[in-house]
Amino acid sequence: MNGEFIEAVSQIAKEKGIQPEVLFEALESALVSAYKKNFGSAQNVKITINRETGDVHVYAQKTMVDEVMDELLEISIDDAKRIDRNYKLGDIIDIEVTPKTFGRIAAQTAKQVVVQKIREAERGIIYEQFSSKENDLVIGTVQRKDKQNVYIDLGKTEAVLGQSEQMPGEEYNFQDRLKLYVVEVKKTSKGPQIIVSRTHPGLVKRLFEQEVPEIFEGVVEIKGIAREAGSRTKIAVHSNDENVDPTGACIGPKGTRVQSIVDELKGEKIDVIKWSKNPEEFIASALSPAKVLSVEVSEKEKSAKVVVLDYQLSLAIGKEGQNARLAAKLTGWKIDIKSQSQVKDIEDEIV
């Protein structure tokens, strides 16, 4: 190795965002293994690389003792004093044992180590970059897909959109650009594995934070989200400023804000609900777009009996019970919905 090699290592380290010292330390460690494998005339070995010239030196490390029991590990007082009179018992003494042919082995080892370390460093940088994006949004393009997974190009790395994280009915075509929610970033032997989602409620939350300045600034707060991906989402919002209407802020002028989110989610319906600490009000709002006549709650059972007009019953329940199911999930209350006629019939039976 020579000065040109040192310069090349420094340049590579700079380009890859690695500290040069990390590479040099890795090289020195690898050269110790290479020395022991090819020469092995010393047990405790230290190898140094001159950071300016690239010169490699191999040192056998021996402990200064009264009586030498193992010549590979120990050195006598007399022999140590010949090297430096200042040595004392117990000192570790470096004795140069650099083989004449070690340069060729050092060069081969260096190449392997630099390539390996660069790969590790790049993986580490990618892991750090994306682990900080857990529970956040990323934008990627569809790269390829197999029977179950869709692989998303995120620039420096690839993310996996698993089957359970894909929106029902959504097609993923080559080069499609998507906004995705980062569920988890795992460290693996092959580098970081990034799990992304199109179904996670967090995706809707982050999209609203992007589109609605009042949410980003903390004026409007998202209190809860209930989602059946690809079909419908209910989001409960609350304003910390009495002068700001939370639902109006989320819907935007002529519905532009919520529409951009609906477009991103390929037509998924979104109900923006005004949150209330009063459970009766909150449950009534959560059943939107149905109009509720009355709500009777049981705090003990965490359940609510809701009455709607006859023609609003199917709307309140929703297709296959979806509206009622999402309202229950959003509020955390068990909801029993009945029409006026049903309530009257029950009352008549009691009488």
Q: What is the pLDDT of residues 59-105, one digit of tens each?
A: 989 999 999 998 888 999 999 999 888 999 999 999 988 888 887 77
pTM score: 0.73
Give CA–CA dist 109/283, Å, rounded.
69
Where do the domains of the chain lie? 3-130, 134-197, 215-275, 287-351
Domain over 287-351 is classified CATH 3.40.50.620: no
pLDDT band, very low/low/confident/very high, at 54 (cuts 50, 70, 90):
confident
149-186 residue pLDDT tens:
999 999 889 999 999 999 999 999 999 999 999 999 99
Examine residue 289 and say whether the peptide bond preceding it is cis (omega within 30 degrees of 0): yes
Q: Is the pLDDT of residue 113 over 70?
A: yes
Do 323 and 329 contact (CB within 8 A), yes or no? Answer: no
Give the residue among 91, 95, 25, 30 at the shortest CA–CA distance from 57: 95
CATH number of 3-130, picked from 3.40.50.150, 3.90.1200.10, 3.30.1480.10, 3.40.630.40? 3.30.1480.10
Give CA–CA dist 238/217, Å, rounded.
13
Do 262 and 274 contact (CB within 8 A), yes or no? Answer: no
Count of Cβ atoms closer than 10 Å to residue 339 Cβ: 19
Give the residue among 350, 287, 281, 282 at the shortest CA–CA distance from 322: 287
Average pLDDT over residues 115-119: 79
Do the domains 215-275 and 287-351 sit in the same CATH topology, yes or no? yes
CATH number of 134-197, picked from 2.40.50.140, 3.90.700.10, 2.40.240.10, 3.30.565.10? 2.40.50.140
Q: Is the pLDDT of residue 1 over 70?
A: no
Q: What does the pLDDT read at residue 233?
A: 98
The residue that leads in pLDDT, 106 or 287, is 287
* φ and ψ of 119, to 5 deg: -60, -45
Please provide the CATH number assigned to the domain covering 215-275. Answer: 3.30.300.20
Pairing of strands 191-197, 137-145: unpaired
35-50 residue pLDDT tens:
888 876 667 889 898 8
Q: What does the pLDDT read at residue 148?
A: 92
Give CA–CA dist 226/210, Å, rounded.
19
Q: Is the pLDDT of residue 312 over 90?
A: yes
**CA distances to 136, 208, 254, 276 from 217, in Å:** 17, 12, 22, 21
E strand spans, 240-328: 269-274, 292-298, 303-308
The helix (H) or strand (E) run that includes residue 3 is helix 3-16
Q: What does the pLDDT read at residue 39?
A: 79
Give one DSSP letter per residue of 86-129, joined into a string: T--TT-EEEEE---TTHHHHHHHHHHHHHHHHHHHHHHHHHHHH
Average pLDDT along the chain: 91
- At 160, the amino acid letter reads V
Do 233 and 270 contact (CB within 8 A), yes or no? Answer: yes
Show Cβ contacts of residue 340 under 8 Å, excluding neighbours closer than 6 positions. 293, 307, 308, 309, 310
Q: What does the pLDDT read at residue 41?
A: 63
